[in-house]
């Protein structure tokens, strides 16, 4: 992934969802079937010195949209989140990195279903890790990709 592509992807993210800039979320990897983002601790903490649950959720959830843009033709496919479940495993006291992947079979299945039916559902598992690699949260999101009209 080139710096230029990442800069482009981050500009697009911030203009799509202004809150991402407010939270300080930065995409750090954007490839077909794989995306990663980081959120700083600064500005996203709470009174007990851990990252606020909603900030952690946001850096995870946003990857569902980002992975669609990174993997499919964004001019044709629009992602929607239908629901998500997050588990908070450890308090986060550092910046957090969220990562998610879709395997090639799933990518092909989604593309085929959207072309055939106009929409396709997919599940995305997101892993959120602290600076030392500790898993602080896992999120499972239910998304739908729809053909733009």
Contact present, 87 and 137 (Cβ < 8 Å): yes
Q: Rule CB under 8 A: is residue 58 a binding residue for a second copy?
A: yes
Q: Rule CB under 8 A: is residue 147 a binding residue for a second copy?
A: no
63: helix, strand or coil: helix
CB nearer to a second copy: give 112 or 118.
118
Q: Which residues does residue 77 pair with via DSSP β-bridges, in sequence order? A: 147
Q: Which residues does residue 36 pair with via DSSP β-bridges, in sequence order? A: 29, 99
Binding residues for a second copy, how many (CB under 8 A)?
Answer: 30
Q: Which of 43, 90, 104, 131 binds a second copy (CB under 8 A)?
A: 43
The phi-psi region of residue 13 (left if phi > 0; otherwise alpha if psi is between -120 and 50; otherwise beta) is alpha
CB nearer to a second copy: give 18 or 112.
18
Q: Which residues bind a second copy (CB under 8 A)?
A: 15-19, 22-23, 43-48, 52-55, 57-58, 61-62, 78, 81-88
């Amino acid at each position: 992934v080139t710096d230029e592509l990442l800069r482009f992807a981050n500009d697009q993210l911030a203009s799509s969802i202004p809150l991402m800039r407010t939270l300080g979320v930065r995409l750090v990897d954007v490839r077909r079937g794989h995306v990663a983002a980081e959120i700083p601790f600064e500005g996203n903490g709470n009174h007990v010195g851990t990252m606020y649950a909603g900030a952690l959720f946001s850096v995870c959830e946003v990857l569902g949209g980002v992975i669609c843009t990174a993997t499919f033709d964004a001019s044709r496919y629009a992602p929607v989140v239908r629901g998500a479940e997050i588990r908070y495993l450890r308090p986060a006291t550092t910046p957090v990195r969220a990562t998610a992947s879709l395997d090639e079979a799933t990518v092909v299945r989604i593309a085929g279903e959207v072309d055939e039916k106009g929409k396709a559902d997919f599940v995305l598992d997101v892993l959120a890790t602290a600076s030392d690699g500790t898993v602080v949260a896992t999120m499972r999101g239910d998304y739908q990709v729809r053909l733009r009209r």
